[in-house]
Structure 1
Amino acid sequence: QILEVHLFLATLLYSYLEAFVKLFVPVRRKSLSGELVLITGAGHGVGRATALEFAKRQSRLVLWDTNKHGVEETAAECQKLGATVQTFVVDCSKREEINSTADKVKKDIGDVTILVNNAGVITAADFLSTQDHQIERMFEVNILGHMWTTRAFLPVMMNNNYGHIVTVASAAGHFVTPFMVTYCSSRFAAVGFHKALTEELSALGKDGIKTTCLCPVFINTGFVKNPTTRLGKILEVEEVVEALMEGIVTNQKMVFVPSNQSVALLLER
């Protein structure tokens, strides 16, 4: 018990010192120009806004979504910013679709250097009212889809020791909330995937492959009507994506939005 308290205080002190140093030491930001960026779930919300931010930074884009109209709208907006864009209609709950489309991307476009696993689905209901197919789909998209997509593009990153894998998860992958048992479980899995993959890449000496996990509280994307949460205010897409892009260019491993969620997590532990 005493050891745990000392460990907690030491971690808290380190966090404050790190934050203090960052006030005075400018963080190096990497260029995203020319990177081949693949974004899943790019037809709407965070995926679309992230694509636009990469387009502004002269990245080349490959956009996936189940919604043909939505992903083509995103592509058109990115092209107005001067980006080269290819779009694919892909259901990230289906491993075969992910693998076959990934093969087309690798053959026809090139090596993906930044992968943004953003596709996600959410159903809010009490656990016993959540239908079987809803439970299966949340896990198929929110975690298995991340795994299949990463497995498709990681080998080339490993060979080159270069790349960046972004996991879009949620604060619900750290904190629980009622009536979202399945969703929280799938997001906990996504956070665990990010952490374990990060450790594995480090153990393999692949320090050129960076990882970032985005964990916002709930976002106003239109998927949940009149959203409320004990985790804090409902966020707008723009502020979430701004934090994500900062996390990517500075190679942050975990991005909480708002940032005080990290302190809340530390206190909970």
Structure 2
Amino acid sequence: MNFLVETLRFIGLSVYYWLESLVFLVVPRRKKNVSGEIVLITGAGSGIGRLLSLKFASLGATLVLWDINQEGLKETSRLASENGAARVQSYVCDCSKRQDIYRVADQVKKEVGDVTILVNNAGIVTGKSFIESPDSLVEKNMEVNTMAHFWTYKAFLPAMMASNHGHLVSIASTAGLTGVSRLSDYCASKFAAVGFAESVDFEMRSLGMTGVKTTIVCPYLINTGMFDGCRTKWPTLLPILEPEYVAEKIITAIRQDQEILLIPRSCYFLLCLKGFLPVKVAALFADYLGILDFMTSFKGRAKKD
């Protein structure tokens, strides 16, 4: 009897959720108010982190900005204040160091309060073949792109659970959904970030923490300088994304409690294809899309080993 009841419940809810998803393709979801929320954004000194800061500021949020770049932080703080943020507090934090994250997190709790929206945005890329990637940069990739998420969750998730209110946002990548040549360490770190965020989301659901939301963001190449020099083979299908467009999509996804956001939309179709194509066909398709060699002309930003 339990099997029959559970099976009927599963089928009924599956149909309901499918219909709900189809409705949301036509009717936009209601956007939640983030005014008064305490929003922490890592990597806020430039790029997508800065744009997200300005958009949250215009919505009346209290901002907590982290970056290793003090000058970038100052500029983002200034712009956010001018954009209407309820309050802006910035902290120099090296997200590759666990103890630094915990130390600054304690400061935030004492000086600002409990973070209610956590945006793990800080990231780096090596951009070399696996054999040519220095060990130190491989480790740094994992520390910034993956392990930092563990430590920020450890620092801020307990308060969200205590009040059953909060939002965990992981800025990952489409490289966290499929392997890419010359991005072995980056792909590994982003795959891990996606898996980690999904796992915590399931934990929250199993604990009945319906007020703690999760959004995983997987964009294609963004024109921020991080992947400077890269080219896309078919820009109509897989365009290099403009930062302003991506930031607006992320803010909308957060405000609508969207669980996963792939940008551009074509990535949803491509991800579905990956699930059932034979390996050789998938590799052929990757070559056709230019994924095998789009990193050939990579320049990126200067990094220290």
Q: Mean Cα displacement is larger for which, 220-229 or 116-125?
A: 220-229
Q: CA shift at 1:224, angstroms? A: 2.6
Q: CA shift at 1:81, angstroms? A: 1.4
Match of 1:97? 100
Q: CA shift at 1:263, angstroms? A: 1.6
Does residue 117 of structure 1 match 2:120? yes
Match of 1:7? none
Amino acid corresponding to residue 258 of structure 2 in structure 1: Q
Q: Is the 8 A contact 1:165 1:210 kept in 2?
A: yes
Instruction: Give the Cα separation in 2 of the matches to 1:146 and 1:125.
Output: 24
Amino acid corresponding to residue 41 of structure 1 in structure 2: G
Compute the TM-score of the two structures, normalised by the length of structure 1.
0.92
Q: Mean Cα displacement is larger for which, 93-102 or 231-240?
A: 231-240
Give the direction of change, closer, same or farther, for the CA distance of 1:23–1:170 in structure 2 (3 Å limit): closer
Amino acid corresponding to residue 210 of structure 1 in structure 2: K
Instruction: Give the Cα separation in 2 of the matches to 1:134 and 1:71.
Output: 24
SS of 2:64's equivalent in the other structure is strand
1:189-234 deviation digits (Å, cap 9, x = unpaired):
0110111111011011111000001100011111232112468221
Amino acid corresponding to residue 221 of structure 2 in structure 1: F
Match of 1:252? 258
Instruction: Give the Cα separation in 2 of the matches to 1:266 and 1:17.
Output: 19
Match of 1:6? none
Match of 1:171? 174
Match of 2:244? 238
Instruction: Give the Cα separation in 2 of the matches to 1:23 and 1:92.
Output: 37
Q: Is the 8 A contact 1:71 1:87 kept in 2?
A: yes
Q: Is the 8 A contact 1:227 1:234 kept in 2?
A: no
Q: CA shift at 1:44, angstroms? A: 0.6
Gaps of 5+ in 2: 1-14, 276-305
SS of 1:166's equivalent in the other structure is strand
SS of 1:128's equivalent in the other structure is coil
Match of 1:47? 49
Q: Mean Cα displacement is larger for which, 215-224 or 89-98?
A: 215-224
Gaps of 5+ in 1: 1-12
Compute the TM-score of the two structures, normalised by the length of structure 2.
0.81
Amino acid corresponding to residue 91 of structure 1 in structure 2: D
Instruction: Give the Cα separation in 2 of the matches to 1:224 and 1:174.
Output: 18
Q: CA shift at 1:23, angstroms? A: 4.5
SS of 2:35's equivalent in the other structure is coil
Q: Give RMSD over aligned pairs.
A: 1.7
Q: Is the 8 A contact 1:30 1:249 kept in 2?
A: yes
Once the two structures are aligned, what percentage of the paired residues are identical? Answer: 47
